[in-house]
Amino acid sequence: MCPVSVLIADDHEIVRRGLRALIHEQPGWQVVAEAIDGREAVAKAEEFKPDVAILDISMPSLNGLEATRQIAKLSPRTKVLILSIHESDQLIHKLVGAGARGYILKADAGRHFITAVKTLLANKTFFTPKVAQKLMDGHLDKVPKASEEEFSPITGRQREVLQLLAEGKSSKEVASILGITLKTAETHRSNLMRRLNCHSVTELVRYAIRNQIVEA
């Protein structure tokens, strides 16, 4: 039996601990890395190239959706399983388009987590039962991977900047986190406000919440 490598990314230690325990119960499975935010998850995925990455959808610095997009590009063989407390149709659309192969509610994790990981390892998709029912009922259509990028009013980099600003980071902090100059960070901020027709950081925060980039 080939060993199975897993990355766990969640900003709550108790969640990581619980998932780690479930994984270690499986013969040959091992947690090769853990992350407490989306940016660290992307870096660890690129470094370790795990078979499966378990991502919380609501992570600081870089949310699970953006992390999924980046992992899909940097480590294509890694299968992404999303953990969430939400059942939003819009969010599922976005995640499928970003390259996620599985989606389970945290409330269902105890019952379905191992099955979900095994399903992804078999090159299939796994959705939490309520979401799977929606798929069967035809309420969710398969979304081409490029669709959201084509129609989004802002770029992937601008979404990263928007999340950081919405989390209360200053332009200087954004520049440091993203490894860009202060001038570039301020330009991103100005472009965001112009493109989204926002006139204050408060309005940017509201946009980020409405579009599930950050949680209220």
| Phi, psi torsion values for 41, nearest 5 degrees | -60, -45
49 class by beta-carbon count within 10 Å (0-12 exposed, 13-18 middle, 19+ buried): middle
Lay out the sheet containing 29-35: strands in order across. Answer: 29-35, 4-9, 52-56, 79-84, 102-105, 126-127
**CATH 3.40.50.2300-classified regions of the chain:** 4-136
Q: Find residue 5's DSSP bridge partners.
A: 30
- pLDDT tens digits, 34-58: 999 999 999 999 999 999 999 999 9
- What fold does the segment set 4-136 form as a domain? Rossmann fold (3.40.50)
- pLDDT tens digits, 81-104: 999 887 777 788 788 889 999 999
Percentage of the chain lying above the pLDDT 90 cut: 61
Give the confidence band of 135 by pLDDT, cuts at 50, 70, 90.
low
Instruction: Compute CA distances 46 → 69, 122, 164, 179, 205, whole Å.
Output: 12, 22, 22, 17, 30
**CATH 1.10.10.10-classified regions of the chain:** 152-210
- pLDDT tens digits, 175-211: 999 999 999 999 999 999 998 988 888 888 888 888 8
Residue from 154, 158, 157, 82 nearest 113 by CA: 82
Q: Give 179's DSSP letter.
A: T
H or E segment to which residue 19 belongs: helix 13-24
pTM: 0.81
Architecture of the domain spanning 152-210 = Orthogonal Bundle (1.10)
Beta strands 4-9 and 52-56, pairing class:
parallel
- Encoded amino acid at 111, one letter: R
Task: Please tell me whether residue 120 adopts helix, strand or coil conformation.
Answer: helix
| Phi, psi torsion values for 56, nearest 5 degrees | -75, 140
